[in-house]
């Protein structure tokens, strides 16, 4: 298809939704992508780039001349343009900005000045704002004639002469109102707005909590600077939930299109940190070398104690990390949840202790070994519950993302406590050398 047959490609690609075009780009091999975009020329919808992996987007933009990109970005909504520009290196970005009209350039530069992952980066600067003394009829006439409106919008805003936000009116209210009514009389009761410097995660939580479709974005003086719509927020919500999942497993923000070396390096850090944990556990075992030499069955059973604790700790930790992220877990219910987690761990500890105790007894024909492992399991399970909850909370208090760091600490606790309790109790019970 890439034999320069423009009309065939056009026929194929022109009716696709931007998300499908994005997929098509990802499916092509690296060399074909730029050729494909060049072939389509002005028919190529650059919003498709917001639907591709970062690695593919950046590579493709490097392959295209900056003037072509600049021309295309001028037609995009500002949020899409910012999305495309933000991952480029400074030089390319400046060149592309230089190719834009003055107004577009100023707008995009301002958005790029906001911190990464802030509302200001994600917002659209195209919106409709009217004066409070306008009527519904004036507003409708204005919308019919205005140019450079956003592609679609769900509310309009009412601002004072200094552009400070007074309120918002949903489109369905305008449609249902009479032409002579004042816009202020149909404004929504609640004024939902976010600050441009707010973190996107915080903004997403607000959208979710209050079921918002769009929200005004204001600067530090309460002046309207943009609007955020829920379709951008949906991506944020998805990303943030996934970030926690990946962080718990120690897989950074790699993408499926990243290179082998990038991925390997990203994951190695985590493995090395966990190696330190594993070595610490080994040091504990080494303390009991003589004990194990005297009774090898201990070496056979000890991983069971550690792994049960590790699993129980991970369960509590997962609940705690998500509870903190969604703010369902806070100071108000912390003591209740702590009591609950300790009780849950203790109950499950007893159940597992009975099960494992009997297994060990039957396997090695020694009731004593059964008692010892049962006791160690209960101790380790309670520590698992405690550390699974308290470690994420402590990290959050220290302003460290609990999703990233918790699991190393929790498994350290459950390994160290597990091996120490099991081997220690065994040495005391059987009078073994230490």
241 to 270, contacts with its own copies by CB under 8 A?
241-242, 244-246, 248-251, 254, 256, 260-261, 263-264, 267-268, 270
By CB under 8 A, residue 210 contacts its own copies = yes
* Between 50 and 125, CB nearer to its own copies: 50
Residue from 233, 389, 391, 427 touching its own copies (CB under 8 A): that is 233
* Between 33 and 93, CB nearer to its own copies: 33
* Between 50 and 66, CB nearer to its own copies: 50
By CB under 8 A, residue 308 contacts its own copies = yes
Residue from 52, 135, 168, 318 touching its own copies (CB under 8 A): that is 318
* Between 85 and 308, CB nearer to its own copies: 308
State how far the Cα of 134 lies from the Cα of 158, in Å rounded to an integer. 9
Among the residue ranges 2-10, 71-79, 164-172, 394-402, the one whose residues contact its own copies (CB under 8 A): 164-172
User: 3-state DSSP call for residue 259?
Assistant: coil
By CB under 8 A, residue 414 contacts its own copies = no
- DSSP summary character for residue 391: H
CB 85 within 8 A of CB 92: no
Residue from 166, 169, 183, 304 touching its own copies (CB under 8 A): that is 304
CB 433 within 8 A of CB 295: no
Strand partners, 124: 227
DSSP string for 289-352: HHHHHH-THHHHHHHHHHHHHHHHHHHHHHHHHHHHHTT-S-GGGHHHHHHHHHHHHHHHHHHH
Minimal distance, residue 202 CB to its own copies, in Å: 15
* Between 67 and 293, CB nearer to its own copies: 293
Among the residue ranges 30-38, 66-74, 318-326, 393-401, the one whose residues contact its own copies (CB under 8 A): 318-326
Q: For residues 25-44, which are near its own copies according to CB under 8 A? A: 27
How large is the angle between the packed helices 30-40 and 6-13, nearest 10 degrees?
90
* Beta carbons within 8 Å of 215's beta carbon, 6+ residues apart: 192, 193, 194, 203, 206, 207, 227, 228
Token pair recorded at residue 176: 């249902």
Residue from 3, 89, 148, 178 touching its own copies (CB under 8 A): that is 178
Residue entry with tokens 């001028």: 74
Q: For residues 342-401, which are near its own copies according to CB under 8 A? A: 343-344, 347-348, 351-352, 355-356, 359
Contact track, its own copies, 113-152, x by CB under 8 A:
---------------------------x--xx----x--x
By CB under 8 A, residue 422 contacts its own copies = no
Q: How far is the CA of 210 from the CAs of 125, 205, 250, in angstroms?
A: 23, 9, 32
Residue entry with tokens 């040495």: 427
Residue from 1, 8, 300, 358 touching its own copies (CB under 8 A): that is 300
Burial (Cβ within 10 Å: 0-12, 13-18, ≥19) of residue 335 = exposed
Residue from 109, 235, 354, 371 touching its own copies (CB under 8 A): that is 235
Please name the helix (run of DSSP H) or strand (run of DSSP E) that holds residue 374, with its range, or none. Answer: helix 367-397
């Amino acid at each position: 298809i890439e034999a320069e047959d423009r009309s065939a490609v056009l026929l194929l690609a022109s009716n696709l939704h931007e998300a499908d075009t994005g997929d098509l780009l990802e499916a092509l091999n690296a060399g074909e992508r730029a050729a494909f975009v060049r072939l389509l020329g002005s028919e190529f919808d650059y919003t498709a780039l917001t639907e591709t992996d970062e690695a593919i987007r950046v590579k493709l933009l490097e392959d295209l001349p900056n003037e072509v990109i600049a021309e295309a970005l001028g037609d995009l909504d500002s949020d899409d343009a910012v999305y495309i520009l933000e991952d480029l290196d400074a030089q390319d970005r400046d060149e592309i900005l230089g190719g834009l009209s003055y107004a577009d350039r100023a707008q995009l530069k301002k958005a790029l000045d906001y911190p990464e992952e802030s509302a200001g980066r994600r917002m659209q600067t195209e919106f409709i704002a009217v004066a409070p003394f306008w009527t519904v009829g004036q507003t409708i006439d204005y919308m019919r004639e205005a140019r450079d409106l956003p592609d679609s919008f769900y509310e309009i805003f009412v601002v004072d002469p200094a552009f400070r936000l007074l309120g918002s009116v949903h489109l369905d209210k305008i449609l249902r109102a009479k032409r002579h009514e004042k816009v202020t009389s149909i404004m929504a009761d609640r004024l939902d707005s976010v600050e441009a410097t707010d973190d996107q995660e915080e903004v997403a939580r607000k959208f979710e909590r209050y079921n918002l479709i769009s929200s005004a974005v204001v600067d530090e003086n309460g002046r309207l600077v943009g609007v955020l719509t829920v379709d951008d927020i949906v991506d944020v919500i998805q990303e943030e939930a996934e970030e926690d999942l990946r962080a718990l497993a120690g897989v950074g923000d790699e993408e499926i299109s990243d290179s082998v070396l990038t991925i390997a390096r990203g994951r190695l850090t985590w493995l090395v940190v966990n190696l330190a944990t594993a070595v610490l556990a080994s040091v504990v075992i080494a303390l009991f070398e003589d004990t194990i030499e005297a009774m090898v069955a201990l070496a056979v059973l000890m991983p069971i104690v550690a792994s049960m604790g590790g699993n129980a700790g991970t369960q509590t930790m997962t609940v705690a990390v998500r509870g903190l992220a969604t703010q369902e877990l806070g100071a108000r219910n912390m003591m209740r949840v702590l009591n609950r987690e300790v009780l849950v761990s203790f109950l499950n500890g007893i159940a597992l202790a009975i099960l494992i105790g009997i297994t060990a007894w039957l396997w090695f024909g020694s009731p004593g070994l059964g008692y010892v492992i049962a006791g160690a399991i209960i101790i380790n399970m309670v520590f698992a519950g405690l550390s699974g909850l308290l470690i994420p909370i402590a990290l959050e208090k220290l302003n460290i993302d609990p999703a990233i760091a918790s699991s190393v600490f929790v498994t350290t606790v459950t390994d160290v406590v597990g091996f120490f309790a099991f081997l220690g109790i065994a040495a005391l019970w059987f009078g073994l050398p230490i």
